[in-house]
Amino acid sequence: MFRTKADKDRFIFALAFVGVLVFISICMLVASIKNGYDYENNSRMFESVGDLAFLNELITDENIKDNNIKDISCEDSKLVKIKYDNYEICIFAYDFSTVEECKKFCEILQEVLKNDFKGDFKRVTFHEITRSAILKALANHGAVNMDLVDAQQARRVLDRLVGYRISPLLWSRVAKGSSAGRVQSVALRLIVERERAINAFVPEEYWVFKLKLVSASGVEFIAKLARIDGKTFKINNAEDAAKALDSVLNNRACRIDSIEKLRKYRNAPAPFTTSTLQQTANQVLRFSASGTMRVAQSLYEGVELGSRGAVGLITYMRTDSVNIAAEARSAAADFIRSEYGEEFIPAKPNYFKSKSGAQEAHEAIRPTDVTRTPESLKEFLDSSQLKLYTLIWKRFVASQMTRAEIAQLNVSVLVDGADSREFDFRASASSVVFPGYMKVLGAPQAVEGENEEDSAVDGSGALAKLNEKEDCRIADALKEQKFTEPPPRFTEATL
């Protein structure tokens, strides 16, 4: 690797020098953060955060019981001034997430108040803004999770170690003032790796075969070649494709080998999280991710509903949780029962599991009042707001409904080829037996998606008229050349 010993020594010295610089940088960052300073602007962290809206109440057990909530006043949106005379407990209540837990709100404010305030500092967490959830949180207060605080400080260090290397590159290549860190760098790597895969992709030729068949009873249907001699096949040139089709057309026998009837079920989808809302809005409404969040923000902050004033129509839209408040689930069941019938309510309420690693600081995205249907809000919402609210409302209502029941019919047609090979052509059809959640979402594409990829899909109902072992004749044949495609580039939603 090294031509001379001097080259090796220079390399070791350079490596050691870089290691020392990195070590010193980390020490400086950790020290500055541990002292409560923001490394970038050398100002106190709690001062740079702004209005500490997450600090809710200074209350005693008696005040909790009497619902006597003490007001909080802010001065210049920098420090929260709290009147804590005659109070015994200081309760901190803000988002239950690594980001908010680690802001050091509690740690710093305890330092500020400890000389004068002689009571206890407590931490409460709740995942939903409902009366029962808040009262339960107040009755089960705990302490600040310092593990999350430390985790965030490590993340801040990582942001700077990565960001200070990448941001200057953006300044020279993209735009002044741009910034990037651990999130943007990973996203960039995903994009680059996908682009490299696209550039390295070599298309492969393959052929698709379909037959238009007529049964002995006169039923016409389309079938697609799925197997040859009971195995998956790969025909990648025109010569082999021509031989296969010639063998099929000059067959010795063609008959319906089997008819399979299945019942399949599709469970109701989970309510939206931030990412699934952005993806669905992009696919269905053609909204960008930023556009989706902008419209969702307006729905969350409130819309003027005539004499009712400004009303928030959806819950907080930045969430990774699919959990639903008990009150909302009960209200949804009552609404579904009155609007669609008892049969659309599942025997047990639908519960959904969030992805591993989800912080679940908030509920899933849902309407604040399920009885506010999109139709009832048409006159108050603009077109974008109405489209997004309709998407959220339908998804939430559907998530609390029964599963859909689908009948699927699979037909296998065997053709004894002239070259002694056995060609298995298949056709399938689906029909909705009970719509369940589809009563609200209405998803015909989802039903079609139940069919196998190697089957021809029939939507005419002809397959139901066929009989097993019935002879068929070939009315027409089609062979089509295709090529495999590279992985698609990321869209804003898929990224």
Active site residues: 316
Taking Cα atoms as reference points, which of 190, 191, 184, 149 lies closest to residue 164? Answer: 184
Contact criterion met (CB below 8 Å) for 337 and 400: no
Task: Give the gyration radius of the chain's Cα atoms.
Answer: 32
| CB 413 within 8 Å of CB 254 | yes
User: What distance in Å separates the CA atoms of residue 77 and residue 389, rounded to the nearest whole number?
Assistant: 33
CA distance 309 to 372: 15
How far is it, in rounded angstroms, from Cα 355 to Cα 322?
A: 9
Q: At a CB cut-off of 8 Å and minimum separation 6, what does 112 contact?
A: none
Report the DSSP beta bridge partners of residue 73: 81
The residue with tokens 């020279």 is 172
Dmax over CA atoms of the chain, in Å, equals 98
CA 397-398-402 angle, 5° bins: 120
Asked if 261 and 398 count as a contact pair (C-beta separation under 8 A), the reply is: no
Euclidean distance between CA atoms 111 and 90, whole angstroms:
13
Q: What does the DSSP 8-state code read for residue 367?
A: B
Count CB-CB contacts under 10 A for residue 330.
13
Based on the number of CB atoms within 10 Å of its own CB, is 404 exposed (0-12), middle (13-18) or buried (19 or more)?
A: buried
DSSP designation for 285: I
Q: Is 254 helix (H, G, I), strand (E, B) or coil?
A: strand
**Pairwise CA distance, residues 330 & 104, whole Å:** 37
**Is-contact 404 432, C-beta < 8 A?**
yes
CA atoms within 13 A on the CB side of 351: 4
CA distances from 135 to 87, 126, 132, 402 (A): 19, 9, 5, 32
Cα torsion 441, 444, 450, 454: sign: negative
Strand partners, 213: 221, 474
